[in-house]
Amino acid sequence: MQSSFSRLPLGLCLASCLLLSTQAMAQTSVASPAPTTALASDSVYQVNATLTDQNGRAFKLRKHLGKAVLASMFYTSCKFVCPMLIDTMALTRQGLTPEERAQIDMLLISFDPQRDDVKKLKSVALSREVDSSPWTLARTDVSSSRKIAATLGIQYRLLSDGEFNHTTVLVLLDRDGRVVGRTQKMGAADPAFIKLVKQTLGTKASGS
Amino acid sequence: MLPTTLVRRLARLARLDRSTRLVRLARPASLAGLLCAALLPALRPVLSEPLAVPVAASYVSVPAGAFASVLSGGSSDNAPVAVAAFSLRAQPVTVAEFLQFTKVHPEWSRAQVPAVFADANYLHGLDASVAELHGQQAITNVSWFAAQAFCESEQARLPTWYEWEYVGAADATHADARNDPAWRAQILGWYSQPSSQRQLQVGAAPNFYGAQNMHGLIWEWVDDFNALLVSADSRNQGDPDQLQYCGAGAISLQDRENFAILMRVALLSSLSGADSTKDLGFRCARSPVQ
């Protein structure tokens, strides 16, 4: 089976690449239907999930409307990349001017709601010194976690040993909650990503 | 060949397979479809709130068990995966059922669905006349978000990959027929069939669990569609600064000869939640009430 795959004609691969790119173009040119609410049709905030922050306060994603958001997903028992994720978010924020920092929220949502209760979120928030504005550590129900992850393009999977395998991605949302960019560079601030954050903050909300 | 490389090629094949099915010929209505179309209006006066009371879908009970998945659970010895008891829709969701759902929940109609939840193909070409002619065909061109919403509307959810694979492993008489070459050949036969000759009419011989159309009709969404191939060996490729994946052990492909199942993994892994395609539908699952 493997050898037959390696003999796949190049043309086939090229054709599929072309198809992929035309599909991508079709997706980016999707005409947004008139939104039924004030929310942009392509806003992540269309996910109407109820989340709970590290202080036990319930909120909806759309509470971040009007501010840009650096968002990601994690789980508190993660030992390796997740602490690095918080560091990277903080480093990215440090790359901004004080005026810019005032316009951006930092949002971390657990994809392990069965273990990550409010107490655990609070504990991480305190130990990592991210327990105050603009930081929010949050949890929601299992189904909503999967939906939010799907809109953010974040993948996660529970392994048999209780660890999660997951993509570590920092996602930038504009003031309307649209995904405008992402970086997978961890451990240091990504200059291109910081540039994108600055650009995003420089643009007015569409007000759609 | 590394598993990820294999999967990328499978994903390309799956996409190609989709794209070759561009033309779906108008098909004559089946007797069952006509009967249903004729009966539905007749039933409406009987129901006080016809649009809000869909006919209860049939679910089959699936007992708990353990099986070897094509995806490992993270350990190298591919320990069997435990599946808790659940119930699964006997058939994929049909065009008529989904249209009914959009009448009750117009926010999921093609006109109103937010762009973040559905791409431009969503419910393409689907209107009332299609429903009359093809109401008993499997609904396709639905996004993962819409499929989730439909299942929630009948107090259900999408099955997980493990649940789907567990039931999909059965033939008519065995819970796990995957090592039967005839079973594999029969399923693979579907992939070589031009779509213009295929119909999406729901209903076929039930398998061991009583589920129908697990193979040979459509691709199906699963709850964790986007997490099937979060693989550790991706960490060994590309920029070492990009620590994209967390979690030791990770997922790797087992049973690489099971081409029919791997095609599904590859296709699902290549999609995002808002995508919809002509051959991708869904069915729902329920956990037992506690």
Average pLDDT over residues A132-146: 95
Within A50-140, where are the H helices? 81-94, 98-101, 118-127
Nearest Cα residue in chain A from B114: A41
Q: Where are the domains of chain A?
A: 55-201
Tokens of B163: 């649940």
Per-residue pLDDT band at B121 (split at 50, 70, 90): very high
In Å, how far is B40's CA from the nearest CA of chain A? 31
pLDDT cut 70: percent of chain A above it: 78
In Å, how far is B119's CA from the nearest CA of chain A? 6
Nearest Cα residue in chain B from A187: B241
Average pLDDT over residues B90-110: 96
Average pLDDT over residues B231-247: 41
CB proximity B57 to A under 8 Å: no
CB proximity B163 to A under 8 Å: no
Q: Are residues B251 and A43, on separate chains, in Cβ contact within 8 Å?
A: no
Nearest Cα residue in chain A from B158: A143
Average pLDDT over residues A20-49: 61
Question: Comparing C-alpha atoms, which of B113, B274, B143 is closest to residue A32?
Answer: B113
> Contact, B267 vs B248, CB < 8 A?
no
Residue with tokens 């490992």: B72
> Above 50 in pLDDT, residue B249?
no
Average pLDDT over residues A1-12: 38
Average pLDDT over residues A131-135: 93
pLDDT cut 90: percent of chain A above it: 63
Architecture of domain B57-286: Alpha-Beta Complex (3.90)
Q: Are residues A166 and B230, on separate chains, in Cβ contact within 8 Å?
A: yes
Q: What is the three-class DSSP state of B216? A: coil
Mutation for A interface: B243, B252, B269, most A CBs within 10 A: B243
> Contact, B176 vs B67, CB < 8 A?
yes
B259 contacts in chain A (CB < 8 Å): 1
Total residues belonging to chain B? 290
Count Cα neighbours of B12 within 13 Å in the Cβ-side half-sphere. 18
Residue A28 CA to residue B28 CA, distance in Å, equals 35
Higher per-residue confidence, A162 vs A180: A180
Q: What is the three-class DSSP state of A207? A: coil
- φ, ψ for residue B151, nearest 5 deg: -60, -40
> Above 60 in pLDDT, residue B25?
no
Nearest Cα residue in chain B from A25: B120
Q: What angle separates helix A142-152 from helix B144-153, to the nearest 10 degrees? A: 160
Q: What is the CATH number of domain A55-201?
A: 3.40.30.10
**What's residue A72's pLDDT?**
96
Nearest Cα residue in chain A from B16: A16
Per-residue pLDDT band at B252 (split at 50, 70, 90): low
Q: Are residues A20 and B251, on separate chains, in Cβ contact within 8 Å?
A: no
Residue B203 CA to residue B50 CA, distance in Å, equals 24
Tokens of A72: 């990601």
Q: Which range has the worst mean pLDDT, A112-121, B123-132, B173-182, B229-238?
A: B229-238
Residues 219-278 of chain B with CB under 8 A from chain A are: 223-224, 226-228, 230-232, 241-251, 256-257, 259, 272-275
**What's residue A29's pLDDT?**
34
Q: Are residues B244 and A168, on separate chains, in Cβ contact within 8 Å?
A: yes
A49 contacts in chain B (CB < 8 Å): none
pLDDT digits (tens, 9 = 90+) for A36-64: 457 999 999 999 999 999 999 999 999 99
Residue with tokens 């579907």: B190
In Å, how far is A137's CA from the nearest CA of chain B? 19
CB proximity A58 to B under 8 Å: no
Q: What's the whole-number average pLDDT of chain A?
A: 82
B66 contacts in chain A (CB < 8 Å): none
Tokens of B129: 């006349």
**What's residue A63's pLDDT?**
95
Tokens of B98: 């989904």
> Above 70 in pLDDT, residue B61?
yes
**Dihedral of the alpha carbons of B189, B195, B197, B203, in degrees to the nearest 10:** 70
Burial of A157 (0-12, 13-18, 19+ CB in 10 A): buried
Residue B100 CA to residue B131 CA, distance in Å, equals 10
Nearest Cα residue in chain B from A83: B246
Q: Are residues A33 and B113, on separate chains, in Cβ contact within 8 Å?
A: yes
Residue B215 CA to residue B260 CA, distance in Å, equals 9
Q: Are residues A1 and B259, on separate chains, in Cβ contact within 8 Å?
A: yes
**What's residue B10's pLDDT?**
52
Q: What is the largest CA-CA distance in chain B?
A: 66
Residue A60 CA to residue B141 CA, distance in Å, equals 29
**What's residue B290's pLDDT?**
63
Q: What's the distance, Cα to Cα, between the start and end of chain A in Å? A: 52
> Contact, B38 vs A43, CB < 8 A?
no
Q: Where are the domains of chain B?
A: 57-286
